[in-house]
Chains A and B, each alone.
Chain A
Amino acid sequence: MNDIAIDLQRIVKTYKSGSIEVQALRGVTLRIERGEYVAIMGPSGSGKSTLMNVIGCLDRPTSGNYHLDGIDLSALDDRALAKIRLEKLGFIFQGFNLLPRTDAMKNVSLPLFYAKVSPRERRERARAALAEVGLADRGHHKPSELSGGQQQRVAIARALINNPAVLLADEPTGNLDSTTSEEILALFESLHRAGRTIVVVTHDEEVAERADRVVRLRDGLVLSDTPTARGHFSGGSIVPQEATPQS
């Protein structure tokens, strides 16, 4: 086991658009420990979406090293990266991104389907995951039959079901009203207390404040990396946490 969940070293990402090269990330070094709750902030164009895609293994850095849960990702092919996304990462999106024609149970158990888990076990684990986010009785509802907050909780259950090393949330409250946002943030906090590693990408200061640590990006570089008022550590030095993810 590794205490470092995410280890980014001098990550550079360059996009080519015709003859113009755009440097989205210009050497980001960032280390996130197991059990941390980190917010990544920055104005649009700061590279935070690109960083999230790199952390989420949806995009490859042009240069630099990335270790996720102790695994060096630079040499992995598409199939292996898909496996990493499946086993090590849980995605939570602004737009929920549930499969529209599929009920909550099926949505939640989809990662298990790709992990080739038996249908019986898929059902049992999906039921348990829905119960964990307080939607035990909504298993057979389709996304269109659920409120925004409920849909996001289904998405969180889906992200949790493979017991990932990192929960990666992209503007998780962006499409929700303040009351529902509060519910989702409270859920994140309880997951954090239970030992989950959570990375939230947001431009919302209120959302960022709920994390332990805020990383601010500007022009593809880390501008600041500071603990919040709630943070368990200070001065940028990292205090290892005892908590481990629960299954």
Chain B
Amino acid sequence: MLDYIRETLELMQANLTRTILTLIGLVVGVAAIISIQVAAAGMAAAVSGAFRGINVNTFFIFPKSTQGSTQRANLGLSDLTLLEQNVPGIETAIPFGQTRTIVSAGHQHVMLKFGGESYRRFSTAPVVAGHAIARTDVENASPVCVLSSKAFARLFPHAVDPSTVLGQSVYVGPKRYVIVGVLGPATLSTASLGFDINNDVVIPYTTFYNDYQRGRPLFGIQVLGSRDATLATLEANAKRVLSQAHGGSIYQTFDFGFFTKQIDGFFGVVGTIVSAVGAISLLVAGIGIMNILFVSVSERTREIGIRRAIGASRATILIQFFVEAFVLAFSGSLVGMLAGLGIGELAQQLFIARISGTIAALPWTQAMLLATLFATVVTLVFGTLPALRAASVDPIEALRYE
């Protein structure tokens, strides 16, 4: 067996140009299929990475835009309590509100995202100094704030230890907020999705309401479900409860599953197209390999005759040519696999990593299995006819053949 493999490799080397031309199709096909897989896996990891910064059991509820103008549908503070009390599984509900604004501390003036937070936290970033927004802060609408690591770094560029800034104040316009806590290092954000609910500076949502939202209907409600609640149920119940309270008005909910579905859908389409291109190039490649094997059989008719005369049975010749087909197909698949992994890795480095900051591990085992599978299928589908022709060579004719 090893001898056949070595022989095939020597033959491939001897006819290098021919071999390369034959295998290009296979390389392209396998590379296309594997690279799209790597990219899709990377994107999936990026999406889940993006959501890591926030509690995934979060959803948003808005009045349906078509009736946004009708007074009846408007949401108010009373709806928060309504949801918390009437929908089991909802931990907390706060007004949805976020602004980009200039935040100042000492001589630093920085444009930051600024919003409300509850004592039951939407953010999953760890607290590294002080404490998070406390229940009493929410109840009293205290003028306190918690900084993200980004806000800390930007507002206090010279501070090393975050605990040293506790008790200091930041200003938003004329309003002053005392720093009570600092959050941990850069959590991944949903910013890449065009929509980031992780704020750089948070204050109690009641404070935020008093300072910025008072007198206007709520734009929307941000809801945190308990760990074991299912989002779909929560959303349905929340819509029903609000609808009843607002005389049949319609509300829509929105969660991160939406993004996941969109991205999955995108990669589904792209994946199908690339796989189809891959499949076509595999077909072409297979025909190319079949052609080269036929050439090889007729070039080596005499050799086959010699082998048969010496004592090789038809089955032995058949195996030899199958091995040859497999070595040819496998080397093509292997190159394609490496190229595919390379392209996938490059795509991750260049695009996906920028979005999410994560790079999924390359699926070596999967790719290896796939390459072997392709090589086997190509060998069986396109190697059979040439191998049968080789096995059916009549040694008497072959030896007469000059």
Residues of chain A whose beta carbon lies under 8 Å from any beta carbon of chain B:
53, 56, 58-59, 78-79, 82-83, 85-87, 91, 93, 95, 97-102, 106, 110-111, 113-115, 158, 162
| Shortest Cβ distance from residue B347 to the other chain A in the assembled complex, whole angstroms | 42
Q: Is the CB of A114 within 8 A of B399?
A: no
Supply 20 further A-B pairs (C-beta < 8 A) apart from A85-B311, A111-B310, A114-B307.
A58-B395, A82-B311, A82-B313, A82-B316, A83-B311, A85-B309, A85-B310, A86-B311, A95-B402, A97-B305, A97-B309, A98-B306, A99-B306, A101-B11, A101-B14, A102-B7, A113-B3, A114-B310, A115-B311, A158-B310
Interface residues of B in 372-402 (CB under 8 A from A): 395-396, 399, 402
A110 contacts B399, C-beta separation under 8 Å: no
Question: B309: which of A56, A78, A79 is its contact (CB, 8 Å)?
Answer: A56
Q: Of all chain A residues, which has the CB nearest B4? A: A113
Partner of A87, one of B308, B311, B315: B311
Knowing A93-B399, A114-B316, the reply to whether A99 touches B303 (Cβ < 8 A) is: yes
**A114–B314 CB distance below 8 A:** no
The contact of B314 among A78, A98, A115, by CB within 8 Å, is A78
Measured CB to CB, the closest approach of chain A to B11, in angstroms, equals 8
Chief secondary structure at chain B's binding surface: helix
- Given A97-B302, A99-B303, the answer on whether A91 and B314 have CB atoms closer than 8 Å is no
Q: Which residues of A contact B316 (CB under 8 A)?
A: 82, 114
B139 within 8 A of A: no
A79: which of B305, B313, B399 is its contact (CB, 8 Å)? B313
Chain A CB within 8 A of B211 CB: no
Instruction: Give the residues in chain A near B314, CB-CB below 8 Å.
Output: 78-79, 82
Contact among B11, B307, B313, B395 for A83, CB-based, below 8 A: B313
**8 CB < 8 A contacts A-B:** A78-B313, A79-B315, A82-B313, A82-B316, A85-B309, A93-B399, A99-B306, A110-B307
Q: Which residue of A lies closest to B311 (CB)?
A: A86
Whether A53 and B312, one on each chain, are in contact in the complex, defined by CB atoms closer than 8 angstroms, is no
Closest to B314 in A: A78
Decide yes or no: A114 and B303 within 8 Å by CB, A82-B316, A95-B402, A97-B399 being known contacts: no
**B310 close to A53 (CB less than 8 A):** no
A residues in contact with B310, CB < 8 Å: 85-86, 91, 110-111, 114, 158
Most chain B beta carbons < 10 A, residue from A53, A58, A115: A58
- Complex Cα gap A115–B307 (Å): 12
In the bound complex, residues from chain B placing their C-beta under 8 Å from that of A78 are: 313-314
Write out, one digit per residue, whether chain B residues 253-272 have a CB within 8 A of any chain A CB (1) or not (0): 00000000000000000000
A127 to B145, CA, bound (A): 89
Q: How far is the CA of A116 from the CA of B337 in the complex (A)?
A: 34
Q: Measured between C-beta atoms, what is the minimum distance from B310 to chain A in Å?
A: 5
Complex Cα spacing A101 to B307, Å: 14
**CA–CA, A106 to B4, complex, Å?**
12
Q: Mark B1-40, 1 if CB is under 8 A from A, else 0.
A: 0010001001100100000000000000000000000000
**A58→B396 contact, CB < 8 A:** yes
Tell whether, in the assembled complex, residue B312 and residue A114 are in contact, meaning their CB atoms are under 8 Å apart.
Answer: yes
Select which of B7, B302, B309 is within 8 A of A58 by beta carbon: B309
Contacts of B315 in A (CB 8 A): 79
Return B397 CB to nearest CB of chain A, in Å. Answer: 10
A residues in contact with B308, CB < 8 Å: 58, 82, 85
Q: Which residues of A are found within 8 Å of B306, using beta-carbon distances?
A: 97-99
User: Which residues of the partner chain B approach A85 to less than 8 Å between Cβ atoms?
Assistant: 308-311
From residue B77, how far is it (CB to closest CB) to chain A in Å?
86
Q: How far apart are B392's CB and chain A's nearest CB, in angstroms? A: 11
Q: Which residues of B contact A56 (CB under 8 A)?
A: 309
- Which 4 pairs show the lowest CB-CB distances between chains A and B? A86-B311, A82-B313, A85-B311, A79-B313
B396's contact among A53, A100, A110, A111, by CB below 8 Å, is which? A53
Nearest residue in B to A122 (C-beta to C-beta)? B3
**A109: nearest chain-B partner, CB-CB:** B3
Indicate which residue in B11, B313, B396 contacts A59 across the interface (CB closer than 8 Å). B396
Residues of A within 8 A of B396 (CB): 53, 58-59
- B354 to chain A minimum Cβ distance, whole angstroms, is 52
Q: Give B46-71 as 1s and 0s: 1 = Cβ < 8 Å from A's Cβ atoms.
A: 00000000000000000000000000
Binary flags per residue of B300-341, CB closer than 8 Å to A gives 1, else 0: 001101111111111110000000000000000000000000
B309 A111 Cβ-Cβ under 8 A = no
> In residues 260-307 of chain B, which contact A (Cβ within 8 Å)?
302-303, 305-307
> Nearest chain B CB to A45's CB is how many angstroms away?
15
Chain A residue contacts of B303, Cβ below 8 A: 99-100
CB-nearest residue of chain A to B316: A114
Contacts known (A53-B396, A58-B395, A93-B399); A114 close to B309, Cβ less than 8 A: no
Complex: how many Å from CA A213 to CA B325? 48
When distances are taken between beta carbons in the complex, the residues of chain A under 8 Å from B7 are 101-102
Residues of B within 8 A of A158 (CB): 310
Give the distance to chain A from B174, nearest Cβ to Cβ, in Å. 90
A156 to chain B, nearest CB (A): 13
What separation, in Å, do the CA atoms of A82 and B319 have in the docked complex?
15
